[in-house]
Amino acid sequence: MIIQKYKKDKANRYKVVIDDEEYTLYDDIIIQYGLLMKKELTKKELEEIMLANDELESYYRSIKYITKKMRSIREMEEVLEKWCYGDTTIKKTIKRLQDNHFLNDENYLKAFINDKINLTNHGPKKIRSELLKLGIKEELIDEALEKVSNHLWQDKAERYIQKKIETNHRSSARMLKIKISNDLVNLGYEKEDFISILNKYDIIDEEIAEKEYLKIRKQLEKKYSGSVLENKIKERMYRKGFHYSKEWSYEE
């Protein structure tokens, strides 16, 4: 196989024409295999060179990918699979990334937990579940989460509760508390960590209840009137968790 010519490509790569076929090789590979000093290659030598080139390409692409955002080992393996690299190349790439401190699940774990605490409403159970999906070892996750103060989770839950109460314009006190409780459970908080906090809030929904009464009345008075209308309104109000006040009724 005859090496016919070299042509500079992007960054640290060259287009190399071998037997009228064009190959893109990294300059590191060209130097490593002394190609500038050769005019001919065997098929076996070319296969070895291309495998080494793939491994180097895999490594460089991975570094570029990781520098944008930290990744777990499993995430990086999945990305390399999507990029269609073979198992041997993936294993070598992962090891090289670890050896050169680009991949470290313990560092990733700490950064992940810190980001979730500071940038999201996620509680410990949800964070744990997300980390397991990312391939982080269970014992490492539990050890890291145990170091987080329980007061921190309670403070996060309370801030969430306060925000939901302050921005409530539609729900009754009872329904709002049920919704907040369900939200916090779905966000990964233990019920015992927030239920006493939630119960200490006295939610005043008088104004919301009156607005809801008027809204329901407007919908139902097209079909009903008199005591039937008021009973229908009362039933709808109770289903939504609101109290009913006779003072709102303007039945003649």
Q: Residue 248: which pLDDT band, with cuts at 50, 70 and 90?
A: low
pLDDT at 252: 41
**Mean pLDDT along residues 208-236:** 76
DSSP conformational letter for 42? -
**14-23, 142-151, 229-238: lowest mean pLDDT where?**
229-238
The more confident residue out of 69 and 239 is: 69
How many CB atoms sit inside 10 A of residue 159's CB? 11
pTM: 0.74
pLDDT the model gives residue 185: 96
Query: What is the side-by-side order of every strand in the sheet holding 13-18?
Result: 3-8, 13-18, 21-26
How many Cα atoms sit within 13 Å of 248 on the Cβ side? Answer: 22
Q: DSSP for 64-120?
A: HHHHHS---HHHHHHHHHHTT--HHHHHHHHHHHHHTTS--HHHHHHHHHHHHHHHS
pLDDT at 173 over 50: yes
Rounded to the nearest integer, the mean pLDDT of the chain is 87
pLDDT surpasses 80 at 214 = no
- Collapse the DSSP code of 25 into the 3-class scheme (helix H, G, I; strand E, B; otherwise coil) and give the result: strand
Which residue spans within 19-73 are E strands per DSSP? Answer: 21-26
> Other CB atoms closer than 10 Å to residue 156's CB: what's the count?
22
Q: Summarize the confidence of residues 144-158 as an average pLDDT.
A: 94
